[in-house]
Homo-oligomer: A and B are copies of this chain.
Amino acid sequence: MAQAVKRLFPDVKLGIGPAIDKGFYYDFYRKEPFTPEELEMIEEEMKRIIRENYKIERIEMSKEEAKEILKNEPFKLEILNDIKGDIVSFYKQGEFIDLCEGPHLNFTGEVKFFKLLSVSSSYWKGDEKRESMQRIYGISFETEEELRNYLRFIEEAKERDHRILGKKLDLFSIHPEYGPGLVFWHPKGAIIRKIIEDFWKDIHLKNGYEIVYTPHIADISLWEKSGHLSFYSEYMFPKMEMDENRAYQLKPMNCPFHIQIYTSKLRSYKELPIRWAELGTVYRYEKPGVLHGILRVRGFTQDDAHIFCTLEQLEEEICKIIDLVYFFLKSFGFTEYRVFLSTRPENFVGTIENWEKATKALENALKIKNINYEIDPGEGVFYGPKIDIKIKDCLEREWQCSTIQIDFNIPEKFDIKYIDKDGQFKTPIMIHRAILGSLERFFGILIEHYKGNFPLWLAPEQIRILPLTDKYNDFCQDLKKKFETKFRVGIDLRSEKINKKIRDAEEDKVPYMVIVGEKEIKENKLSLRKHTKGMLGFFTLEEIEKKLNFEIENKM
């Protein structure tokens, strides 16, 4: 690609061009972005270079010689200066030569099916104060089918983009001028959030959890004590300096707050395990470059819980959490998972004996629950081993949502205790766990997974009533009142043709449409139409209610 660009635009300066997880990119320095037409030209030139089938040669030379070759490439010269050692390598194909560690293909003809995908701008070395580069992304495959599949995947992912659907369906907005990464939930998104929250709280209460609420800020002395200021401060929003010789900071995590509730009275072994759940909104200062719609934000609500228990209770608690995780993920239509067990890293706190017991408890729980898992050796957090669960969405993309983390550290730091059977003060173990991860991110995943076609139990508007003509508006308004006691109902009273009303309901992705005309009123039955499926037939009000209730109860 770089050779093609240099042939077509000799003034462009070269940056870097690595292979990435999906495909490759190259950063070029030039004032204007490349246009779609220019991308096509570059593709054509690349095809020519492939046809010309140059041998690709590796050439090693001293830095002095390299400097001479790169004298018109200021960015390459910068890279050259950063390289340690005296000898560097270049790769040459035809008239084009580029500083590169390699390896490369042997001939340009070995490149098979490729496509340039997009252009975006990025700062040189990721530094906002440096030049803005034009980054061209591309992809290549061995077979045409693979390329076609990938392009179809890209197309499908674009159509499911939660940022686009979020705006189209009026679910949420972000107002970067008043704060990047801060999510405003509009009524239609908020009702879905409320349904998820209600469901989440209900299931947690039924499973032996208690709900708590804690503040969003705390004196920095709490963050000093918890250790967040030493190991997490780069993700924390800046201090609020008060005139009473205090400074506050927004919470990036809920755990130190739950510890405060724990310490507010003397605890006995009889109370354990204590399971406290909170939909706690936390604020983390993510770099501007990584923010992405509502999938990666700066303010988000964790579906958090902390379990205080003994080492003996650990295995059973983990089993219960795993059950809960699977129950929730299945409820939202996710049935494929990958599970990872992360073990003791090089730097850790606590005794090796406890680490081994806790890791064993995690492993045993996974075995009891018959779950296939992979081990990530040494990838546990410094405070304890953990289980991470990744879900696959309908495009086979993996998302990590659920996490179960053992923590030996924070109970020690805050010196929390319970009185055991023998009258001795002992320190409980703490489990941090989240199932959905964050409501914002999970909602983003749901939008893309469902393509905005939310299942009936989540749909903001479950039924829309469409009078055939204005004549039936009164009848339809009465009908709305009947449906409204059980469902979320809309009505389209505009003087539009029925086809237009149906088209708009389909656009708004309303799961069910009820159409009312002369026939329906005479026969005392309603025409029921399903989103993307078309007409289902004539049904009585009771039949429709029954059908819809069944779908809602079964989260279909």
In the complex, are the beta carbons of B211 and A177 less than 8 A apart? no
The reply to whether B173 and A260 form a contact with Cβ atoms under 8 Å apart is yes
A178 located at the interface, meaning its Cβ lies under 8 Å from any Cβ of chain B in the complex: yes
Q: Judge whether B215 and A183 touch: CB under 8 Å.
A: yes
Q: A interface, how many residues as a size bin?
A: 35 or more
User: Is A190 interfacial (CB-CB < 8 Å)?
Assistant: yes
Assess whether A199 is interfacial by the CB under 8 Å rule.
Answer: no
B173 pairs with A185, CB closer than 8 A:
no
In chain A, positions 160-210 with a C-beta closer than 8 Å to chain B are: 170, 173, 175, 177-179, 182-187, 190-191, 193-194, 198, 201, 210
Judge if A78 is at the interface, Cβ distance under 8 Å. Answer: no
Q: Complex formed: what's the CA distance from A285 to B179 in Å? A: 22
Within 8 A of B (CB), among A205-248: 210-219, 221-222, 237-242, 244, 246, 248
Q: Is A283 an interface residue (CB 8 A)?
A: yes
B248 lies within 8 A of A237 (CB): yes
Q: Does A288 contact B (CB under 8 A)?
A: yes
Chain B contacts of A250 at CB under 8 A?
A: 216-217, 240
Q: Tell me, yes or no, whether A428 is within 8 Å of chain B by CB.
A: no
B215 touches A187 (CB 8 A): no
**Given the complex of chains A and B, what is the CA–CA distance between A281 and B299 in angstroms?**
14
- Does A261 interact with chain B (Cβ within 8 Å)? yes
User: A210 and B187: CB pair below 8 A?
Assistant: yes
**A184:B238 contact, CB within 8 angstroms:** no
> Are A211 and B184 neighbours in the complex by a CB distance under 8 Å?
no
Is there an interface contact between B216 and A216, defined as CB atoms closer than 8 Å?
Answer: yes
For the complex formed by this chain, how many copies does it contain in all? 2
The reply to whether B215 and A179 contact each other, CB–CB distance below 8 Å, is yes
Q: Is A421 an interface residue (CB 8 A)?
A: no
Taking A191-B210, A211-B194 as contacts, is the C-beta distance between A216 and B185 under 8 angstroms? no
In whole angstroms, how far apart are the Cα atoms of A240 and B216 in the complex? 14
**Complex Cα spacing A211 to B186, Å:** 8
Residues in B whose Cβ lies below 8 Å from that of A265? 170
Chain A: residues with CB nearer than 8 A to chain B? Answer: 128, 170, 173, 175, 177-179, 182-187, 190-191, 193-194, 198, 201, 210-219, 221-222, 237-242, 244, 246, 248, 250, 257, 260-261, 264-265, 276, 281, 283, 285, 288, 299
24 interchain pairs (CB within 8 A)? A178-B218, A178-B222, A179-B222, A179-B246, A179-B248, A182-B215, A182-B217, A183-B213, A184-B215, A184-B257, A184-B261, A184-B264, A185-B214, A186-B212, A186-B261, A187-B211, A190-B213, A194-B201, A216-B216, A216-B281, A217-B237, A217-B283, A237-B242, A240-B250
